[in-house]
Amino acid sequence: MSGSLLDAGAVIGCPHGGRVTPATTPSGGLRVAGAAVTTTAHTYVVAGCPHTVDGVPSPCLSVRWSADTTGVTADGSPVLLDTSAGQCFSAALVPQGPPVVQAAQRKVTVR
């Protein structure tokens, strides 16, 4: 799998328009243009998701990423790419669709 490296400044949304951000700022040693590179070890949260099921709010609250098979790691964990597989979840851990990478830096690509 190839793609652009995701850093802490990447613009990511849930499939319903909520904003996906790291729960804490990644603090690893690897940085691109001053922003920390994110990995599968980082926790992501979703804010502002308007999703409802049968009129009952069921917003996306978290994202879980799957490890890519690129072999590229940072601080011992696989790095996240704009092509990485992920899943947004509700508070009840119901899968609600993949996150959408809207903007990522293009200075580093992994092939």
Residue 110: predicted pLDDT: 55
Taking the C-alpha atoms of residue 96 and residue 111, their distance in angstroms, rounded to an integer, is 29
Bridge partners of residue 62, in order along the sequence: 45, 89
Amino acid 50: pLDDT: 97
The pTM (predicted TM-score) of the whole model is 0.84
Residue burial 32-64, b: 16+ Cβ < 10 Å; e: rest: beebbbbbbbbebebeebebeeeeeebbbbbbe
Q: How many CB atoms lie within 10 A of CB 75?
A: 15
Average pLDDT, the chain: 85
Q: Which of 7-11, 70-74, 98-102, 105-109 has the lowest mean pLDDT?
A: 105-109
Using DSSP's 3-state secondary structure scheme, residue 5 falls into: strand
Q: Which residue has the higher pLDDT, 38 or 53?
A: 53
